[in-house]
Amino acid sequence: MTQDDEGLPHERASEATRADPWRAVAFSDAVMAIVITFLALELRPPPPEPGDLLSGLLGEWPTYLAYAASFTYLAVIWMNHKAAFSRIREMDVGLQWVNLGILGTVALIPWPTAVIAETARTADAADQRVAAALYALVGALLWLSWLVFFIYLARHPDLTKEDVDDAYFARERPRALVGLLVYLAAGAAGVLIHPLVASVVFLVLPAFYALTSHGHDHGPAFFRRRDGW
């Protein structure tokens, strides 16, 4: 067994760099709370003429739609993150960077949400298509970060708790890949067909993953895997 400069075996030196995941969980929760707060700041009151407040509020429906899609998306991410880290025993440097990759893409979500809200106010069709594509791109990047997360843990089962199946995170990889591809397809549909098509996907996909994604074995009974399925 080789040794490092301090005379410690590399295996022991590697173990010395590992840490309990509680700090990463606390930091991640704080980041997501801040992102949700920024998301809500886009719900600004309209500037209607006196007596037109109701029509002005109703006219902001694209903003509400974008907020609902993004909030649901963030809620799913938070639940997935919580479920994932309930299975992680310790973190190494690589996993810390992978987790930061997820947080980095999470922090982007208010940006395309604001762009969609603003283009809805201007009602320019070309800008709305670009906004839908931007939202889809950010959504795809987030699923890509989850895919990297699952791949890393699948290759490092020693970081998970003893009662966790070594193949658990490997089984989660296709679900992240599907999310990545669907968001890219939604962006293409928003550009080539109509932005509303992409908006429907932006709403439906997070709702679907809220019921079936990461930790699906603990989800509603209707969606749980059964022997023979």
Residue pLDDT, tens place only, 206-219 = 888 877 765 444 44
Report residue 226's pLDDT band, with 50, 70 and 90 as the boundaries: very low
CATH code linked to domain 10-216: 1.20.1410
Residue pLDDT, tens place only, 42-65 = 777 777 677 777 877 787 777 888
Q: What are phi and psi of 92, to 5 degrees?
A: -105, 180
Question: Do 2 and 73 touch, CB atoms closer than 8 A?
Answer: no
As a dihedral over the C-alpha atoms of residue 111, residue 112, residue 115, residue 119, rounded to 10 degrees, the angle is -170
How much is the pTM?
0.80
Residue pLDDT, tens place only, 131-189 = 999 999 999 999 999 999 999 999 999 999 989 988 899 998 998 999 999 999 999 99
